[in-house]
Amino acid sequence: MKQKEPLKKRIFEIIQIGNRNDLPSRLFDYFIVICIALNISVLFMETFDVFSPYYPLLEGIEAATIGIFIVEYLLRLWTAQYLYPGMGNVKAALRFVVSFYGVIDLLTILPFFFLSGFVALRILRIVRIFRLFKVNATYDSFHVISSVFRKKWNQIISSVFIIFLLMLVSSLCMYSAEHEAQPGIFQNGFSGIWWSLSTIFTVGYGDIYPITILGRVMTVLITFLGVGAVAIPTGIISAGFVEEYTQLAQKPHENRSVSTFCETVRSGSPLAGQSVQAIERSQNIRILAVKRENEILIPGDQTMIRRDDTLICQR
Judgement on whether residues 12 and 102 belong to the same structural domain of the protein = yes
Rounded mean pLDDT of the chain? 78
For 43, counting Cβ atoms within 10 Å of its Cβ (0-12 exposed, 13-18 middle, 19+ buried), the class is middle
The 295-297 sheet, strands edge to edge: 260-264, 310-314, 286-292, 295-297
Instruction: Mark 82-94 as b/e (b = at least 16 C-beta within 10 Å).
Output: bbbbebeeeebbb
Q: Is residue 147 part of a domain?
A: no
Q: 113 CB contacts (<8 Å, ≥6 apart)?
A: none
Return the pLDDT at 136.
45
CA atoms within 13 A on the CB side of 148: 22
CATH of residue 271: 3.30.70.1450
* Region of poorest pLDDT, from 52-61, 212-221, 297-306: 297-306
Return the pLDDT at 138.
43
Return the pLDDT at 139.
46
Higher pLDDT, 269 or 118: 269
Res 302 pLDDT > 50: yes
Return the pLDDT at 71.
92
Region 160-171 average pLDDT? 85
Res 253 pLDDT > 70: no
Res 300 pLDDT > 80: no
Looking at 135, 166, 193, the residue that finishes a domain is: 135
Instruction: Mark 128-162 as b/e (b = at least 16 C-beta within 10 Å).
Output: beebbeeebbeebebbbeebbeeebeebbeebeee
> What domain count does the chain have?
3
Judgement on whether residues 288 and 240 belong to the same structural domain of the protein = no
Q: Is residue 142 part of a domain?
A: no
**DSSP structure class, residue 114:** S
Distance CA 209, CA 185 (A): 9
* Region of poorest pLDDT, from 131-135, 149-153, 169-173, 230-234: 131-135
Residue 109's domain comprises 4-135
Judgement on whether residues 190 and 223 belong to the same structural domain of the protein = yes
Res 35 pLDDT > 80: yes
Region 19-34 average pLDDT? 79
Distance CA 24, CA 170 (A): 60
Region 35-45 average pLDDT? 84
* Region of poorest pLDDT, from 26-40, 189-203, 207-221: 189-203
- Provide the β-strand partners of residue 311: 263, 290
Region 2-22 average pLDDT? 70
Per-residue pLDDT reduced to its tens digit, 91-138: 888 988 888 778 878 877 877 776 555 555 666 666 666 655 544 444
Res 198 pLDDT > 60: yes
Q: Say if residues 301 and 287 touch (Cβ distance below 8 Å).
A: no
Q: Is residue 144 part of a domain?
A: no
Confidence of residue 57 (pLDDT cuts 50, 70, 90): very high
Return the pLDDT at 84.
79
**DSSP structure class, residue 21:** T
Q: Is residue 143 part of a domain?
A: no
Confidence of residue 74 (pLDDT cuts 50, 70, 90): very high
Higher pLDDT, 2 or 191: 191
Map 166-230 to HEC letters.
HHHHHHHHHHHHHCCCCCCCCCCCCCCHHHHHHHHCCCCCCCCCCCCHHHHHHHHHHHHHHHHHH
| Residue 288: closest CA among 237, 265, 254 | 254
* Region of poorest pLDDT, from 138-147, 166-175, 273-282: 138-147
Region 136-148 average pLDDT? 61
Query: Count of CB atoms within 10 A of residue 38's CB?
Result: 16
Q: Is residue 167 part of a domain?
A: yes
Q: Is residue 141 part of a domain?
A: no
Higher pLDDT, 132 or 280: 280
Looking at 248, 275, 301, the residue that finishes a domain is: 248
CA atoms within 13 A on the CB side of 122: 25
Taking the model in full, what pTM does it have? 0.53
In a 3-state reduction of DSSP, which class is residue 87? coil
Judgement on whether residues 8 and 131 belong to the same structural domain of the protein = yes
CATH of residue 193: 1.10.287.70
Res 204 pLDDT > 70: no
Higher pLDDT, 157 or 1: 157
Judgement on whether residues 222 and 284 belong to the same structural domain of the protein = no
Q: Is residue 36 part of a domain?
A: yes
